[in-house]
Amino acid sequence: MPPAARKSPKPTPAPIPDALPFWKRKTMEEMSAAEWESLCDGCGRCCLNKLQEEGSEKTFFTDVACKLLDCTTARCKDYKNRQKKVKDCVRLTPKSVRQIVWLPPTCGYRLVADGRDLYWWHPLVSGDPDTVFAAGVSIVGRVHLTENEVPDEDLEKHIVKWPGRGVGKR
């Protein structure tokens, strides 16, 4: 076939904006309530008691859970009423996510707020809520005590580093 008659290869089309996952094409403020809630990977790290160094933003995680956290599932036992039952339970909003310094580095809310992608093990990426356990990100198997069992003055004895560390590849 003469050179003029050859067909050139088809160019790869640019991704269609709607084909991108919602967390890549919407701002946090544009997300529906269901989309917003699905950014939570269900690891339970944000429900651990934390200590903050006075006069700084340095946060120390403990292996002591909120009294409402089910340590076998990493889920809140009464999510709907959590703020009524736990006075310092923080409701995550697009504004608060951008201001809270203690969200774990693996947190889907934090990643999206920082313009980064979710990890491979996030249920929205993997399609499987169990990948958060398989990747070792969850509190399940690591946390066995709640704040009802550990007095505040003993929290320093329960400081651990793993909840403040990143895990897995994006």
pTM, two decimals, is 0.82
Let me know how long the chain is.
Answer: 170
- Cα distance between residue 84 and residue 78, in whole Å: 10
Q: Which amino acid is at 103?
A: L
Question: Per the structure block, which two tokens stand in for 152?
Answer: 């505040």
CB contact at 8 A, 46 and 139: no
- Cα distance between residue 168 and residue 170, in whole Å: 7
> 120-159, pLDDT tens digit by residue?
999 999 999 999 999 999 999 999 999 999 999 999 999 9
Query: What is the pLDDT confidence band of residue 15, given thresholds at 50, 70 and 90?
Result: low
Q: Using alpha carbons, select from 47, 24, 3, 48 the residue that is nearest to residue 115.
A: 24
101 phi and psi angles, rounded to 5 deg:
-90, -15
Helix (H, G, I), strand (E, B) or coil at 147: coil
Q: Using alpha carbons, select from 111, 121, 147 the residue that is nearest to residue 42.
A: 121
> 54-105, pLDDT tens digit by residue?
888 789 999 999 999 999 999 999 999 999 999 999 999 999 999 998 999 9
pLDDT of residue 109: 97
